[in-house]
Structure 1
């Protein structure tokens, strides 16, 4: 079959951050491109019910807490805020509408055809999209992920008692008592939103610390910070059951290592124990493509699957389930299909928790770095950073981990009000193979939060100025 016999050069399944970026870049590179997306709006989980709406509520709730608490009063601004949750939810929806509409505009601008239905494989170059059959020389699987269910616990977002992350965004009233099952990124972010707005929040986490996968010092400090903010943390605890009666839920929990059980009553339970790849219903068996033990599709470094002409990116393949990781893979896969060289450095993928303060990291944790060899570590507290201190944002620190012999930076971890923005400098430095000395001798504007990264890099050699 010649290239012109196919309906499209590239057909992307899924219009999340990975999928829509792959489709746009493929079209920019001159390829006839379509994207199959069954959701009514483009942007996938991230723009519709994930990254974007959660940040809208996080930002708004930060303002509310700053006004309701002591932060603004300390700066001479005395107000008594009134919560208008309907308006707060409305601005969240407006943000989503604007951004999803923006993706639709970009599809039209770049002449990407949107096939508005569910897609499944007939063969390696043929998809059934709704009632239509379409062919493509290259098919990119970018179907993202969905909430991992907790066995024995039924989520019903409509009732608003036991919810997942989508339901937690849509609550029409502030629950008096909320229990978050899972101490990872999503649970802490959404738990923070409702705590700021007045809910009593308890986090139940099976492991002995919050934020699995992050640096050990970050995880220890996270526990202290969230406790100080008023969250109750039940670590090393497992949920054995959830029952709902009317508008109340009762959880049964017990120590993870065994012991007596107890019950917790809540108005709202957020189930947030992770996400799983969306591969069901794709018809992978029709093309002989299996998933691994985690339900992921294996690819090579160029994002090719074992089936010729079929590629995969984002949450459906191994690696962190992060929108920006998927976006970079979307660019790379389109460039590879077009005969260019698309590369993603999976060793330098930053991760961020958008609470207040923010938690961010890139590269190796200190624990992982030490497994590979000798390291040097520099730390600098935000309390000693002039901008953070002036802004009444004393919590947190910056930590730089470098190779003891070469001084090459292996990982950077930080807690700061703007850590999610600050981490970009660390990622770029690592991408170019920077040493801690390179960061230390780069002039940073004063006064800025980012000076803490400079000082932490100086501390690797034991020579910070302000501590």
Structure 2
């Protein structure tokens, strides 16, 4: 007789493993299916965590190579040990994946090792062994979107997975796609000595970001040495003895040109991944963008089968998936799980960082909503000056009549950390004056948030 569970989650990425832990905490007999040798999915194994490890290491190299002397620290000989840097990345990944395995054991979550396949409502096969569950949750994440004419081999034409495993610094890396992944990995290799050219189909970086911030971001990266070819598309790639020859043409059409590179990083986006899961056979419906279609309670059209994270609509962010995992676990336990999709922050972990939450000016204009803007530059922040990190600004958008904070956008040092204060304020329906009248420690970067809130009503103090 097959073993039975209250909940089986397929996929152990941030959405899946957090969902499994929360379900187990709530007393549900829980199992999580994972085919990798380690838990954590793309994020912990080949995505968020290893990329942040490499970003931190390369940032340290950049600091000691170019900026320590400004602080009176003179280093006579600097050498890059890329093998050690890669090894440290592996250690960070291992610590995180082992941590999830520990949490599974602590919370009595069963790890079903192997590839999962849905046999129908209440039935899952894992490498041929059948299991039963009252509820099945799909959390299989996403994969890199391929680009026609550019065949990935993860050696010279790479996705983010191969881009994290390079064993030498390229002379010239071409990044196809001016989004988060491309700019983060481009930053890693640029800091370590590569010339980096970013080719982007649109006329701005990081689609969906506030355009004023996007333009400022482009200026900062250009100052750092990035080269950009905006409004340009890649139509083909040919491998050569020295690397890759790309064929480009204007997005609107026109004369073609070629561009040579040692390494090409394809980072044009990600798409829902559910290969081999048996969705069609189970009768699970997809939406017009090939994502799993769910209702407001994460239920598919098949009773007892749910989906969360990158496989459904919404931003492909680990923390969004985590919140959905908690919400569905609580719903299945008879509680009222909830995710506020208006308050999901997004971060680009370059230096400076770029972070945003809520509405952009563009979306507010499209809605016809009246709003006020408060901005404050890091050049006027004492802590940023002490850090020699004065690029960027904080921008807060508030309702013209009620002063409710509708969105915020930051480019600057530790923007990803600073945005959390504004996200918390928005979650509680705060006004810009609520933020402005909250005492902020001095000297801190967070004072720039307070000053931007003051600036909404034209009363910033330090500019």
Which TM-score bucket, shorter chain as reference? over 0.9
Alignment partners' CA distance in 1, 2:423 and 2:10? 30
> What residue is the counterpart of 2:372 in the other structure?
376
Q: 2:325 aligns with which of 323, 330, 336?
A: 330
* Contact map agreement 1:176 1:199 (CA 8 A) in 2: yes
> What residue is the counterpart of 2:139 in the other structure?
142
Instruction: Summarize deviations over 1:101-150 as a string: whole Å, max 9, x none.
Output: 01001111111111111111111111111020111000000000000000
Alignment partners' CA distance in 2, 1:58 and 1:129? 36
2:186 aligned with 1:191: yes
* Contact map agreement 1:26 1:335 (CA 8 A) in 2: yes
Q: 2:390 aligns with which of 370, 391, 394?
A: 394
Alignment partners' CA distance in 2, 1:247 and 1:60? 28
How far is 1:301 from its partner? 1.9
Alignment partners' CA distance in 2, 1:450 and 1:150? 41
CA RMSD in angstroms, aligned pairs only? 1.1
* Contact map agreement 2:210 2:362 (CA 8 A) in 1: yes
Alignment partners' CA distance in 2, 1:390 and 1:76? 13
2:17 aligned with 1:20: yes
How far is 1:286 from its partner? 2.4
1:45-444 matches, within 5 Å, as 45-69=42-66, 71-79=67-75, 80-157=77-154, 160-372=155-367, 373-444=369-440
Alignment partners' CA distance in 1, 2:238 and 2:184? 25
Alignment partners' CA distance in 2, 1:19 and 1:246? 43
TM-score (norm 2): 0.98
* Contact map agreement 1:6 1:137 (CA 8 A) in 2: no
Alignment partners' CA distance in 2, 1:217 and 1:250? 33
TM-score (norm 1): 0.97
Structure 1 stretches of 4+ moved >4 Å: none
Alignment partners' CA distance in 2, 1:285 and 1:464? 57
Alignment partners' CA distance in 2, 1:270 and 1:337? 41
Instruction: Summarize deviations over 1:191-244 as a string: whole Å, max 9, x none.
Output: 000000000000000000111000011111111011001000000000011110
Alignment partners' CA distance in 1, 2:286 and 2:115? 20
Alignment partners' CA distance in 1, 2:135 and 2:3? 10
Count of residue pairs the alignment pairs up: 461
How far is 1:5 from its partner? 9.0
* Contact map agreement 2:285 2:301 (CA 8 A) in 1: no
* Contact map agreement 2:148 2:235 (CA 8 A) in 1: no
Q: Which region of structure 1 is more displaced relative to structure 2, 198-207 or 115-124?
A: 115-124
2:456 aligned with 1:454: no
Alignment partners' CA distance in 2, 1:255 and 1:66? 36
Alignment partners' CA distance in 2, 1:440 and 1:367? 24
Q: 2:459 aligns with which of 444, 457, 463?
A: 463
- Secondary structure at the residue paired with 2:132? strand
- Secondary structure at the residue paired with 1:34? strand
- Secondary structure at the residue paired with 2:246? strand
How far is 1:6 from its partner? 6.7
* Contact map agreement 1:161 1:247 (CA 8 A) in 2: no
Instruction: Summarize deviations over 1:16-66 as a string: whole Å, max 9, x none.
Output: 000000011111111111000101100000000000000000000001011
